[in-house]
């Protein structure tokens, strides 16, 4: 009985390793870095319904609200960004 459970355990471990990609491929494909690709998108403002972002039902931006983001940069220096929502044009 112990031999059968050991064989089943080894089969499960081997199948997990096989399906998760731990076995190297013969011809791996190197991904293209998006930063090296040219930006070719053209944005036409008439494609958008409204320039009024305060009308978004899922992300309401009420005029007068302030968003504060705090953190540290790569050098450990404190960073603070204040975003104040203002009335649209």
Whether 22 has a pLDDT exceeding 60, the answer reads no
Closest CA to 81 of 67, 61, 63: 67
Cα R_g (the chain), whole angstroms: 27
- Give the mean pLDDT of the chain: 78
Spatial contact of 45 and 62, defined as CB atoms under 8 Å apart: no
Reported residue count of the chain is 89
Q: Looking at residue 23, what is its pLDDT?
A: 54
DSSP strand E in 30-77: where?
Answer: 66-72
């Amino acid at each position: 009985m112990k031999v059968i459970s050991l064989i089943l355990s080894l089969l499960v471990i081997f199948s997990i390793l096989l399906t998760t990609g731990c076995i190297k491929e013969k011809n791996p494909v190197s991904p293209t870095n998006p930063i090296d690709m040219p930006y070719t998108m053209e944005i036409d403002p008439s494609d958008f319904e409204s320039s009024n972002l305060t009308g978004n039902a899922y992300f309401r931006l009420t005029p007068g609200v302030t968003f504060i983001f705090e953190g540290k940069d790569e050098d450990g220096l404190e960073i603070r960004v204040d975003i104040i929502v203002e009335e649209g044009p």
